[in-house]
Amino acid sequence: MTFQPVPATTEPTTTVPSSATGPPIPESRRGFGTDLWRAVARNRKAVVGVLLLLFFLVLSVFPGEIAPYSPTAEVFQPGLGPSWQHWFGTTAYGQDVLSQLIWGTRQSVVIAFAVGGLATALAVIVGVSAAYLGGISDGFLSLITDVILVIPIFPLIIVIAAYERNAGLFTLVIVLGALGWSYGARQLRAQTLSLRRRDFLEAARVRGERKSYVILHEILPTMTSLIVASFLGAALYAVLFAAGLQFIGLGDPNSQSWGTMLYWAENNEALGANMVLWAITPGVCVALLGAAFALLNYAFDEISNPALRLRKLDITGTRERPKDATITAPTTSDRILEVRGLSVAYASDEGPVVAVDNVDFDLHRGEFLGIVGESGCGKSTLMYAIARLLGPPFSGEITDGEVIFRGRDMVKLGDRQLRHIRWREFSVVMQSAMNALNPVLTIEAQMRDACKAHSKMSDKEIEKRSIEVLKLVSIDPIHLLSYPHQLSGGMRQRAMIAMALLFTPDLVIMDEPTSALDVVAQRSLMMQIKELQERLGFAVIFVTHDMSLVSHFSDRLLVMYAAQVAEFGNTRQLFDNPRHPYTRALLDAFPSIHGPRVRLTGIPGSPPDLARPPQGCRFAARCPHATPRSIAVEPPLFDVEGDLVRCFLYEESAAEENVRAGATEGVA
């Protein structure tokens, strides 16, 4: 088949802050250079760490210029207390303590950087090559790493240092470096192993890159944060160990260092005499330099991993909202869930990101509701908010609205009350069963844990119930003893659903439970869900990006676009007569296996940045029916024959209907 060449549907290269699924968490890697400096300047730990380190660096480079006296000249009165001439007093030999401290900085800094560098280099070489080469090389290198890791380092160093009596700087660096790399090597090996399965390495190999290039230029740059952490960790350890060794007299007693100062202070019982500061200040310096490295380590972790940072959600000034039509369905007692004006926001560096904006819907007993939309539209956030699962690492917060589940407002419930109804009255099935199931426990053990956490069932009852629910989803109860990896993808999802049904809940919330499966398994799982739902009568909220998937299964459909409800109505009605231009475009994006082959266009462009939503209709930029009005003014939801549509195209028909409705009421 040939198509007429048509210009490519272009997606403008705008920044899309959301990841593939789930709430928008900024990604961990930033470009080097300016971004990094800005991030450092904004991080308090980093600023303090950098200042401390700079302070010591300056001292170590210019001790002669800074120190008031020579550190070795025994020219003052011994054992003086602090005074303006001698801030920290003098030693038992009549030397100035402050000058000794300043001169001693150099050795600690040199040891820190030299050992950090040496240990990190060894860690990188051993860790990365072990993981990348695999097989026997990995076995051998890992063995060495582990042996060094389990050797009690301090006694060993004492033995080595004792051999090399009065160990100088060089010996210290070599000994500490040679023993300090193993921890970093293990971390780097683990990280490289997880990278090995990443496609970009396979892409590099397929491209024809050499092994050395892959290791040096493809693997190492992605591990910058780990390498830096390894360096800072080794530096910290070197400072502490060197001081410790010198303190117990294993260093060169004539060297200028904090450890040697401690050694002499201890020998002269400085603490008991008037020379307390002689004994204390070197320790404080060691602690401060160590703290500088530790702070930098924490800060770097936070900068390279923004999810760790705690941000405060700050919402000032509420947005003017258009008045939405509400569902006019009769209020009946069999409504189990009412979501009213629900809004959820995430804190981000660019201010609050409203991921769910004023969403209203209700759900009846035994109803199957589909929620569809593109990734980043807020559908998963909505689901998490309803289930009250928004917590770290999803730092989202419900900012407004209520979620009334069987008469109780879930938004106001505390953790204890939530635990009481979660799983018993409503349960959640996650997207990837492989992640949601514990890989080291059998299915039976996981079912038992769930039962024990939420009920007081006896072991007998639990076993009976586990067998029952597995049979419900057509899994042979023999698989109770299986581990998750022994089941196929389809069976794992079935097992997840079985676990969700342990307490016959009234509501099961499903987040794309089939999207990791292929069509045949997907189809059969959908059939199973529908059959169970009809048999057991629970209600389902089914979140998916694939509208066609729910077309044959859901009663009503809620189409979300850029955090808002775009259209909400009866599934059949929505598919036969889609009203919102977005719904129409979504439906036109599916190739069909029936009918003639036609060229489809998809939806040009990409969804708006939720940190800066457009002023008017959120779909306007991609909409073929956009008008100046819809670009400037946000449309409310209009009620068109019981279907809610957020589009000005339906303003008139909605108004007419209202008039008609009013007229009939008048007649009655």
Which region, judged by CB under 8 A, interacts with other proteins, from 550-558, 613-621, 629-637, 644-652?
550-558
Asked if 442 is part of the footprint of other proteins (rule: CB under 8 A), the reply reads: no
Asked if 138 is part of the footprint of other proteins (rule: CB under 8 A), the reply reads: no
**Residue closer to other proteins, measured from CB, 202 or 468:** 202
Q: How many residues of this chain bind other proteins (CB under 8 A)?
A: 83
Build a one-symbol-per-residue string for 57-86: x at contacts with other proteins by CB under 8 A, - elsewhere. ------------------------------
Footprint on residues 373-392 left by other proteins (CB under 8 A):
374-375
Q: Buried b vs exposed e over 243-257: b needs ≥16 C-beta within 10 Å?
A: bbbbbebbbbeebbb
Say if residues 185 and 127 touch (Cβ distance below 8 Å): yes
**Residue closer to other proteins, measured from CB, 97 or 223:** 223
Asked if 628 is part of the footprint of other proteins (rule: CB under 8 A), the reply reads: no
Build a one-symbol-per-residue string for 597-616: x at contacts with other proteins by CB under 8 A, - elsewhere. x-xxxxx--x----------
Asked if 571 is part of the footprint of other proteins (rule: CB under 8 A), the reply reads: yes
Measure the CA angle with vertex 135, ends 130 and 138; round to 5°: 25
What contacts 20, CB < 8 A, 6 or more positions away? 375
What contacts 506, CB < 8 A, 6 or more positions away? 336, 365, 406, 425, 426, 538, 539
As measured in angstroms, the least distance from the Cβ of 653 to other proteins is 24
Which region, judged by CB under 8 A, interacts with other proteins, from 87-95, 162-170, 267-275, 580-588?
580-588
Q: Residue 369: in which H helix or E strand, if any?
A: strand 368-372
Asked if 432 is part of the footprint of other proteins (rule: CB under 8 A), the reply reads: no
CB atoms within 10 A of CB 131: 24
Pick the binder of other proteins from 47, 50, 57, 204 (CB under 8 A). Answer: 204
Asked if 535 is part of the footprint of other proteins (rule: CB under 8 A), the reply reads: no
**Residue closer to other proteins, measured from CB, 111 or 131:** 131
Contacts 24+ apart (CB under 8 A), 177-180: 177/114, 177/115, 177/117, 177/118, 177/119, 177/122, 177/234, 177/238, 178/118, 178/122, 179/148, 179/151, 179/153, 180/115, 180/119, 180/153, 180/234, 180/237, 180/238
**Residue closer to other proteins, measured from CB, 360 or 609:** 609
Beta bridge partner(s), residue 640: 643
Say if residues 249 and 228 touch (Cβ distance below 8 Å): no
Asked if 435 is part of the footprint of other proteins (rule: CB under 8 A), the reply reads: no
Record the tokens describing residue 569, joined without a space. Answer: 């109505």
Alpha-carbon distance of 321 to 646, in angstroms, equals 13
Asked if 393 is part of the footprint of other proteins (rule: CB under 8 A), the reply reads: no
As measured in angstroms, the least distance from the Cβ of 569 to other proteins is 14
Alpha-carbon distance of 57 to 105, in angstroms, equals 8
Pick the binder of other proteins from 131, 586, 623, 645 (CB under 8 A). Answer: 586
As measured in angstroms, the least distance from the Cβ of 6 to other proteins is 8
Alpha-carbon distance of 85 to 362, in angstroms, equals 80
Which region, judged by CB under 8 A, interacts with other proteins, from 4-12, 276-284, 341-349, 398-406?
4-12
Alpha-carbon distance of 204 to 206, in angstroms, equals 5
What contacts 12, CB < 8 A, 6 or more positions away? 605, 606
Asked if 491 is part of the footprint of other proteins (rule: CB under 8 A), the reply reads: yes
As measured in angstroms, the least distance from the Cβ of 612 to other proteins is 15
Which region, judged by CB under 8 A, interacts with other proteins, from 23-31, 169-177, 315-323, 324-332?
23-31
Asked if 283 is part of the footprint of other proteins (rule: CB under 8 A), the reply reads: no
**Residue closer to other proteins, measured from CB, 240 or 525:** 525
**Residue closer to other proteins, measured from CB, 227 or 336:** 227
**Residue closer to other proteins, measured from CB, 35 or 409:** 35
CA-CA distances (angstroms) from residue 215 to 112, 188, 196, 206, 219? 27, 12, 10, 15, 5
Alpha-carbon distance of 242 to 259, in angstroms, equals 7
Pick the binder of other proteins from 117, 133, 205, 389 (CB under 8 A). Answer: 205
Pick the binder of other proteins from 326, 592, 615, 658 (CB under 8 A). Answer: 592
Pick the binder of other proteins from 488, 537, 658, 662 (CB under 8 A). Answer: 488
Which region, judged by CB under 8 A, interacts with other proteins, from 15-23, 116-124, 429-437, 610-618?
15-23
As measured in angstroms, the least distance from the Cβ of 45 to other proteins is 24
Alpha-carbon distance of 126 to 138, in angstroms, equals 9
Asked if 349 is part of the footprint of other proteins (rule: CB under 8 A), the reply reads: no
**Which residue, 238, 258, 224, 228, is CA-closest to 179?**
238
As measured in angstroms, the least distance from the Cβ of 359 to other proteins is 20
Which residue in the block uniquely carries the two structure tokens 């170590």? Answer: 60
Q: If you compute the radius of gyration of the chain from its CA atoms, what whole number of angstroms results?
A: 33
SS3 139: helix
Build a one-symbol-per-residue string for 213-242: x at contacts with other proteins by CB under 8 A, - elsewhere. -----x--xx-x------------------
Alpha-carbon distance of 118 to 120, in angstroms, equals 5
Which region, judged by CB under 8 A, interacts with other proteins, from 308-316, 337-345, 484-492, 535-543?
484-492
Record the tokens describing residue 438, joined without a space. Answer: 């514990």
